[in-house]
Structure 1
Amino acid sequence: MMNDISSEVETWNELKSTTGARIDVGRAGTRPLTSNMLRLRLDHAAAIDAVYSEVPRELIEEMGLLSVNTLASDKVQYLKRPDLGRRFTTTSADAIQASCLHAPQVQIVVSDGLSAAAIEANLKEVYSSLLDSLNSLGLEAGTPIYVERGRVGSMDHIGDILQPEVLVLLIGERPGLLSASSMSAYMCYKPCIGKLDSDRNVISNIHESGTPPAEAGARIASMLKAMLDQRRSGTELVF
């Protein structure tokens, strides 16, 4: 009987080790353990900070990104009006039109989205890996863009302006209590206003405890190459 119990405990501990989710965390009477409660409060605070913080301007300048703004004038409006994060101000649309290479093979776009922490933590490694992988595949990238307070749909507006063959948007994910610095890469073949979510592909959970940033860059490049070869994306893409 004791052997059965020991085996069950060992199996349960193995399962717990495969996830960062809060399972079997214990309690003190009817309340959570103090250590677990403090960790919960710390993770919750990190998630809030990720949403309301800003990507350092030094990082944007260091990466050589053209910085543009959506119609969301501040973070509060951005959170309340997702639609405003999908379109650009006239000034920003004109800047994209005037400063960026038109009809590039690959257009790279970066946005803080719902986690500036994700961009700060992962962008350099993902971007470097992505450029190296594109180069090895013989693909050329256009002028990189940073979208402040952007939503996924902002890639469609850029598609209308620049008409790239494929576009990848590296954007901060909505933070959770497991990770506040997770990035996603949304990709689309010939993006334009009116595209559906089913027309896009995504690699999500890019962070140190998920998909490693360097690996993500290589996977993004491979998927973009498949889109170019097949001239399609989304649910129709075979990858």
Structure 2
Amino acid sequence: MNSKKHPKIQTDSGLIKKEHLSNYTFARVNLPKSGFAINMSEVLAFRADHASARDAIFTAFDIEKIKGELSPLTLDFIEVSSQAEDKAAYLKRPDLGRMLNEKSNELLEESVNSKEKDIVIVISNGLSATAVNENTASVLNHLIPKIKESNLTLAPIIFATNGRVALADEIGEKLNAKLSIILVGERPGLSSPNSMSIYFTYAPEKGLTDESRNCISNIRDKGLPPISAAEKLFYLVNTALTKRISGIHLKDDMGLTE
């Protein structure tokens, strides 16, 4: 468990006292009160965090910013979209976010190389463009050099607007990749509007379900640091490619990251 302030707490019972809980979580616990009411400062902080969570959903997916931050890696990029034409459709129809639209299908078909690639990386705004805008470059600037040093082949980086997790499986299948990875914004919480997740699938194909994938979550400055996430992902990807498995069959033996 990530500690908020890393205090050393000792109690006779060995249990954490209620007044110390706020040292171990960003959740709202043991809030100060004035009489029977919560302090106004806490009420205002709640409203501000709620607004941040809403903003994270509707913030623009800043593809050009991410491309610029990845420019030292000299990568190829392709931009596609799901069948969810806007954020309203994305929120109301999750199924549309799992399928490429017609134009994107045609674009990927034109980009297919008959030679199989080891990995394709997909980046999607998901439910928090804020998370992806803030964390993607830190992860990939650490991960991709490791991939190249290992002589693993990499397909062009795919930016997928309004994509759900399963969209990476369809993309991986179309681009003839052994393994698909998607970096996607998580559902924003009141204390974590900028939290990103990474999912990956060995032998991706359209129609796979959650048991076929692995997930690394809570990637953000106050959660799992992006560099630690990149280290974890590189370890698991290598394991998946070596053993030719992912999902419930793949166990994480790496241990804790810093």
Q: Same fold (TM over 0.5)?
A: yes
The aligned counterpart of 1:209 is 222
Distance 1:65 1:39 in 2: 40
Distance 1:10 1:234 in 2: 35
Q: Identify the match of residue 96 of structure 1 among 108, 114, 119.
A: 108
**Cα offset for 1:9?**
11
Provide the aligned C-alpha RMSD in A.
Answer: 2.3
**Is structure 2 residue 14 aligned with structure 1 residue 21?**
no
Q: Using CA pairs below 8 Å that are at least 6 residues apart, which structure has the higher relative contact order?
A: 1
Distance 2:171 2:14 in 1: 54
**Cα offset for 1:64?**
5.4
**Cα offset for 1:173?**
0.3
Per the alignment, in what secondary structure is the counterpart of residue 177 of structure 2?
coil
Q: Identify the match of residue 94 of structure 2 among 78, 82, 103.
A: 82
Distance 1:32 1:197 in 2: 40
Letter in 1 for 2:40: T
**Is structure 2 residue 54 aligned with structure 1 residue 48?**
yes
TM-superposition CA deviations, 1:47-99 (whole Å, max 9, x none): 00000111124224427531111111111011000000011111111112223
Q: Identify the match of residue 194 of structure 1 among 194, 207, 223.
A: 207
Distance 2:108 2:16 in 1: 57
**Cα offset for 1:10?**
8.4
**163 and 25 in structure 1: CA distance in 2 versus 1, 3 angstrom threshold:** same
**Is structure 2 residue 64 aligned with structure 1 residue 58?**
yes
Alpha-carbon contact 1:100-1:143 (below 8 Å) kept? no
Greater share of residues in helix: 1
Once the two structures are superposed, the pairs formed by residues 33-182 of structure 1 within 5 Å of their partners are 33-62=39-68, 65-99=77-111, 101=113, 103-182=116-195
**168 and 57 in structure 1: CA distance in 2 versus 1, 3 angstrom threshold:** closer
TM-superposition CA deviations, 1:174-223 (whole Å, max 9, x none): 00011100000001001111212001000000000111001111211111
Q: Gapped runs of 5+ residues in structure 2? A: 1-10, 69-74, 253-258
Q: How many residues align?
A: 236
The aligned counterpart of 1:231 is 244
TM-superposition CA deviations, 1:148-168 (whole Å, max 9, x none): 000011012112311211111
- In percent, how many aligned pairs have the same letter? 35
Distance 2:66 2:138 in 1: 14
Given the two structures, how large is their TM-score scaled by the length of structure 2? 0.85
**Runs ≥4 residues deviating over 4 A:** 5-14
Given the two structures, how large is their TM-score scaled by the length of structure 1? 0.91
Letter in 1 for 2:52: A
Per the alignment, in what secondary structure is the counterpart of residue 85 of structure 1?
helix
Distance 2:153 2:135 in 1: 22
Alpha-carbon contact 1:166-1:187 (below 8 Å) kept? yes
